[in-house]
Amino acid sequence: MGKRSGYGAHSTAEEVAQGIDAKNLTAIVTGGASGIGAEVVRILAKQGARVVIAARNKEAAERARAAMEKELPGASVQCMELDLASLASVRGFVEDFKKSGLPLNLLINNAGVMFCPFSLTADGVESQFATNHLGHFLLTNLLLDTMKETAAKSGIQGRIVNLSSVAHTTVGYKEGIRDLDAINDRGSYDSKKAYGQSKLANILHANSLAVMFQREKINITANAVHPGLIGTPLWRHSAAMKLFVKIIYAGKWKSVEQGAATTIYAAIHPDMADVSGRYLADCQEAKPSKKALDPQLGKKLWDISELLVSRASA
């Protein structure tokens, strides 16, 4: 484990960001229209960063942007449409972003869904795996050249932050990442286990990126974070589970402001310079599951992800 940060479960994103100048940074935050994502956008903008809200609901994103600009005159926030459940939408978003000519220092893969009933996306992929992992997998891969170029020209280290969850240790399929056919199988689907699988995928993805960046001497880091238990709209598919967890973990729930703290810590805090391939919780390095540290499972996930992406573009 690394050194203690001085922050903890009750720290807010604003406290973590205090005194940090982000004026030279450009960030993309997926799911930045509400919940933790909106608070991450607000704090980054407050510290001077140029922020792109990438959201499925463009109207909600515009409302969030307007509220932030009212609170923070001069803030640089813009909205772009992105539906992570659609690989065509991901490609369209990246094409539009690249046309803008903007640099990219920070990619915050924040958006997600939780405990959804079984459904397949238009690409034929189970919706939680598609939204929480596969869309972000493709988004990240397509933006890497821009991030590499930005890091090389600016001399500022790029950072990728994947939003995971402690659920990767508490719920999930026994094999961690299921075989390709099983991922999309309605008969054996379990909404809780599928969520745990997707959150495990977020960590394995970050770890694989970190290894690649180190091997290729690329000045970008990749880390995964657990934001904590927060009463966001993510729970809309499981009110009963939310009540149960609230009772079991009474006193451990966080506000949105506290939930965004670890993401902000990973994204802009000086302590995280050159730190890559880690899993963070409460603004500290934490210990993920054994499966999250398994490079073979990471390779399996990468191979499955590439195959699903190639099928969608065929």
Q: What is the dihedral of CA 17, 230, 158, 71, to 10 degrees?
A: -50
Across the range 196-225, mean pLDDT stands at 98
Across the range 145-165, mean pLDDT stands at 98
Q: What is the pLDDT of residues 212-228, one digit of tens each?
A: 999 999 999 999 999 98
Quick one: tokens of 230?
Answer: 């927060």
Question: 4 lies in a domain?
Answer: no
In percent, how much of the chain has pLDDT > 90? 89
Q: What is the pLDDT of residue 252?
A: 61
Question: 7 lies in a domain?
Answer: no
Across the range 240-264, mean pLDDT stands at 68
Q: What is the pLDDT of residue 231?
A: 57
Question: 70 lies in a domain?
Answer: yes
Separation CA 198–CA 132 (nearest Å):
6
Put simply, whether the predicted model's pTM sits higher than 0.85 gets the answer yes
Catalytic residue among 7, 173, 189, 249: 189
Burial 27-40 (b: 16+ CB within 10 A, else e): bbbbbbbbbbbbbb
Please give the span between the terminal C-alpha atoms of the chain, in angstroms, as a whole number. 43
The dihedral built from the CA positions of residue 83, 84, 89 and 92, taken in this order, carries a sign that is: positive
Query: CB of 115 within 8 A of CB of 191?
Result: yes
CATH code, domain with 279: 3.40.50.720
Question: 39 lies in a domain?
Answer: yes
189 as an active site residue: the answer is yes
Question: 159 lies in a domain?
Answer: yes
Question: 36 lies in a domain?
Answer: yes
Question: 3 lies in a domain?
Answer: no
> Domain span at residue 171?
13-313
Q: What is the pLDDT of residues 78-110, one digit of tens each?
A: 999 999 999 999 999 999 999 999 999 999 999
Across the range 31-49, mean pLDDT stands at 97
Query: CB of 157 within 8 A of CB of 189?
Result: no
Of the given ranges (68-77, 111-120, 162-171, 247-256), which has the lowest mean pLDDT?
247-256
In percent, how much of the chain has pLDDT > 70? 91
The three-state secondary structure class of 248 is helix
Angstrom CA distances, 70 to 46, 73, 76, stand at 12, 6, 12
Within a 10 A sphere around the Cβ of 288, how many other Cβ atoms?
22
Q: Which of 135, 265, 245, 115 is nearest to 201 (CA)?
A: 135
Of the given ranges (129-133, 152-156, 163-167, 250-254), which has the lowest mean pLDDT?
250-254
Q: What is the pLDDT of residue 93?
A: 98
Query: Does the structure show a pLDDT above 90 at 243?
Result: no
Q: What is the pLDDT of residue 4?
A: 76
- Average pLDDT of the chain is 92
Across the range 7-33, mean pLDDT stands at 97
Number of domains in the chain: 1
Across the range 118-128, mean pLDDT stands at 97
Question: 2 lies in a domain?
Answer: no
Q: What is the pLDDT of residues 259-314, one digit of tens each?
A: 999 999 999 999 999 999 999 999 999 999 999 999 999 999 999 999 999 998 76
